[in-house]
């Protein structure tokens, strides 16, 4: 298996060992490269790609934590170690609510594990390292720019995501490392915000405090052992306090209910919604996957009601092959 594409973070942005009280090289050696292959007929192949690459973090013996979209429906996973070795992995678990994914290495990985810290204790302005596979030259010295709610168009909400600056160019699955040398988050996205008249690029990071309550379930069952949330298959965006359908998942619940791109969602079960987070939370409050979701829509000058029979998102995804 060939090495991942060669690139480096600019020298001026790389972390320097002397700036940290912990062993920086040892901590960064826990970050591995991740390369996954998804069947071309997979539900997410068209939107996320049939080949994905990013990072993962060794948190236990052979257990790698990453961001879930990198391994969703993966038939093959390869872990790239810093010394050039490549180890096959198994997509062990995926949690739709947090976005975490777990990969079990199928061969020995004699690397140090990165200890898990507390994302709740992290403070805005705090100096952190965003660690990528490949050590210091693929890692970034940064700071925590914000901690706040985040809502994603794919029916996803974090009560308090972590945002870091500057943005890591290969953010997926990166390790957010605290001043104590502990893992406090996993890189998910790159976003842009306007600040002081300029556009600033940030990484959105999933806080590590969401992992311990679900880790045992993920290891045992491959998902959290509780009823799944209702899923609509509706890719939404927030425009001037209005929720607009930006896309419809093929053959998903919204598609079956004949929702269309451009529809404006006005209310859930008669309760008005004006933000993505409020929209999703009202849907989830109706019950578990399979519950009927009454929506009020606006389309081409007409307001009308429609009922969507929700589903379990996981049922649309190919399960990882067993070894």
What is each CA distance from 186 to 95, 111, 229, 248, in whole angstroms? Answer: 13, 19, 23, 28
For residue 97, what are its two tokens? 């609510």
Cβ contact 57:186 at 8 Å: yes
Predicted confidence at residue 191, as pLDDT, reads 93
Query: Minimal CA–CA distance to 275: which of 262, 260, 265, 263?
Result: 265
Contact assessment for residue 103 and residue 90, using Cβ atoms and an 8 Å cutoff: yes
Strands 242-248 and 31-37: unpaired
Q: Mean per-residue pLDDT for 28-42?
A: 96
Contact 42, 54 (CB under 8 A): no
> Would you say residue 262 has pLDDT above 90?
yes
Express each pLDDT in 114-156 by its tens digit: 999 999 999 999 999 999 999 999 999 999 999 999 999 999 9
C-beta of residue 203 within 8 angstroms of C-beta of residue 168: yes
pTM confidence score? 0.94
Q: How do beta strands 242-248 and 234-239 pair?
A: antiparallel
Q: Which residues are 191's β-sheet partners?
A: 202
Do residues 223 and 314 touch, judged by C-beta distance below 8 A? yes
**For residue 5, what pLDDT is reported?**
57
Pairwise CA distance, residues 45 & 61, whole Å: 30
Contact (Cβ atoms closer than 8 angstroms) between residue 55 and residue 81: no
Which helix or strand (DSSP H or E) is residue 198 part of? Answer: strand 198-207
State how far the Cα of 280 lies from the Cα of 272, in Å rounded to an integer.
Answer: 12
Task: Output the pLDDT for position 321.
Answer: 65
> Strand ranges (DSSP E) for 95-182?
100-105, 127-131, 140-152, 156-165, 175-177
Domains and CATH numbers, the chain: 1-223 (2.40.10.120), 234-316 (2.30.42.10)
Strands 86-94 and 100-105: antiparallel
Confidence of residue 32 (pLDDT cuts 50, 70, 90): very high
């Amino acid at each position: 298996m060939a090495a991942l594409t060669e690139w480096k973070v600019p020298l001026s942005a790389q972390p320097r060992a002397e700036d940290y009280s912990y062993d920086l090289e040892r901590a960064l050696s826990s970050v591995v490269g991740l390369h996954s292959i998804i069947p071309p007929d997979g539900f997410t192949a068209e939107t996320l790609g049939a080949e994905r690459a990013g990072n993962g973090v060794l948190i236990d013996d052979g257990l790698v934590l990453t961001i879930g979209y990198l391994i969703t429906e993966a038939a093959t996973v390869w872990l790239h170690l810093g010394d050039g070795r490549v180890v096959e992995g198994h997509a062990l678990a995926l949690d739709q609510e947090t976005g975490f994914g777990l990969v079990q290495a199928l061969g020995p990985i004699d690397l140090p594990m990165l200890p898990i810290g507390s994302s709740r204790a992290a403070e805005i302005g705090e100096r952190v390292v965003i660690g990528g596979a490949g050590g210091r030259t693929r890692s970034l010295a940064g700071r925590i720019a914000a901690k706040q709610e985040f809502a994603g168009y794919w029916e996803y909400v974090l009560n308090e995501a972590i945002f870091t600056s500057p943005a890591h160019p290969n953010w997926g699955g990166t390790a957010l490392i605290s001043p104590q040398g502990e893992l406090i988050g996993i890189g998910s996205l790159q976003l842009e915000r306007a600040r002081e008249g300029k556009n600033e690029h940030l990484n959105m990071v999933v806080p590590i405090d969401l992992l311990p309550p679900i880790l045992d379930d993920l290891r045992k069952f491959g998902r959290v052992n509780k009823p799944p949330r209702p899923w609509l298959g509706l890719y939404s965006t927030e425009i001037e306090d209005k929720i607009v359908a930006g896309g419809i998942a093929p053959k998903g619940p919204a598609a079956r209910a004949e929702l269309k791109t451009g529809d404006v969602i006005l209310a859930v079960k008669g309760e008005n919604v004006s933000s993505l987070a409020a929209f999703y939370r009202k849907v989830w409050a109706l019950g578990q996957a399979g519950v009927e979701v009454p929506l009020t829509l606006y389309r081409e000058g007409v307001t009308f009601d429609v009922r969507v029979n929700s589903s379990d998102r996981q049922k649309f995804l190919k399960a990882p092959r067993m070894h």
